[in-house]
Structures are given as structure tokens and as C-alpha cells.
Amino acid sequence: MKATYQKLLLVTLLLLLAACTKTEPVTQTFSLVDITGVTWGKDFRLSDHHGAVRSIADFKDKVVILSFGYTNCPDMCPTTMYKLATAMEKLGPDANRVQVLFVTLDPDRDTPDVLQQYVPAFHPAFLGMYADMETTEATAKDFKVYFKHQKPDASGFYTVDHMGPSFVFDPQGRLRLFISDRHDADTIASDVRTLLKW
């Protein structure tokens, strides 16, 4: 009788534990800026440097990192691209499930040929993305990215003032995270690994 009572008590405790586990809310914290649920930046329609028109749906089951810049950028853009390439190295085999997209804010100079030389130089899997200026402006606006072309100098050279964030989509194509200049490659790789589990 005592053994039967102990068995019943054990089963009851196990059932209670299982019930608590099911009702316990699951929260996930990120080191990058969590922007889950924002109503902007849901998609894009841009050509890659091979000429294929792409949207977020083309990268299903991958984490997508969308970064804005231009190839003549003297410091911020190459630093960001190097950091993203380093994060890819830290991911090891998981990097095969990550796609980095570099969106040019200077489509007049950043032709497909220029992007094809510049972007994969940081990592062979990276893609350069471009569009006409109207679409570029609309895409930047949709992602809350400010940019402005400065007046050309005597030689015709100009710079582009712009923000330097990158945006991270999860494998289901939902915008989830914001990468700022202060985030390092280790932090990016860690949060990307977390998203790959979703």
C-alpha cells in the first residue's frame, strides 16, 4: 500500500512539474537591439550584383543581415563589412544559413560590376544590392535609414552622409534585430545563432 502511495505521489509531482513547465513563459533576450514587432522594414525588392531581383522571401530559412552603405565610404562601411565577415567566420558551419546583403545608397557609382568586386571581397557569400535612386530612397525610408549625397568637389567626387545600422531578419523573414556600430562580431554571431534555432 505504501509503495502504491509513493508511486501515485511521484506521478502527481511529475504531472505538476510538467504543467508548470508548459505554462512558464519563454522569453529570449538578445545582446543586439531587439526590434521584434516593428511595423516598418518588412521587405525589400532590390537586384543583387548578379542582376537577380530579390526580396526577403528568396532567403527563406536563412538569417538575413541587411546593411546600408556605399563602396566609396572611407571608414564606416568597410568597418561594418569586415565585422560582419568576422561574425560569419565565428559562426562556422552555421554561416551557410546566413545571408549578408549590402544595399548601396549610391547606385549611380555602385554599378553591379563595382558591387561584384567590392562586396564579395569581404566574404564570398555576401551579395551587393542595388536599385534605381527612387527605389533606393524608398527602401532606405522604409528602414528608417537617413542618407544624403554631398556636393561634388572640383574633380566630381562626392561623399554620402548616412547612418550605419544593419538589420537582422530571422529564418521566417521577420525583422528582429538592429546592429549598431558598438556591437562587435562576437555579439552578432551569438545572437544570429539564437535566431537560427527559431
Check pLDDT > 90 for residue 92.
yes
Give the chain's mean pLDDT.
Answer: 88
* Residue 43, pLDDT above cutoff 90: yes
In the numeric block, which cell numbers belong to residue 97?
Answer: 544559413
- Provide the CATH number for the domain formed by 44-196 in this structure: 3.40.30.10
- pLDDT over 50 (residue 70): yes
Q: From CA 189, how far away is CA 84, in angstroms rounded?
A: 9
Contact 110, 149 (CB under 8 A): no
| Three cell numbers written together for 49 | 550584383
Q: Is the pLDDT of residue 46 over 70?
A: yes
pLDDT at 18: 41
By DSSP bridging, strand 98-104 and strand 63-69 are parallel
**Rg, C-alpha atoms of the chain:** 22
pLDDT computed for residue 155 by the predictor: 93
Distance CA 52, CA 78 (A): 24
Angle (CA) 6 10 14, round 5°: 170
- Cα(98)–Cα(24) distance, integer angstroms: 31
pTM of the predicted model as reported, rounded to 2 decimal places: 0.84
Q: Which three cell numbers stand for residue 116?
A: 561584384
SS3 172: coil
DSSP, res 47: E
Instruction: Please tell me whether residue 166 adopts helix, strand or coil conformation.
Output: strand
Tens digits of per-residue pLDDT, 114-128? Answer: 999 999 999 999 999
Calculate the alpha carbon distances from 25 to 17, 89, 133, 138, 158 in Å.
14, 33, 45, 38, 52
What is the reported pLDDT for 29? 87
Place of cell 549610391: 106
Is pLDDT at 66 greater than 50 in this prediction? yes
pLDDT at 27: 54
Per-residue confidence band for 161, with pLDDT thresholds at 50, 70 and 90: very high
* Residue extents of the structural domains in the chain: 44-196
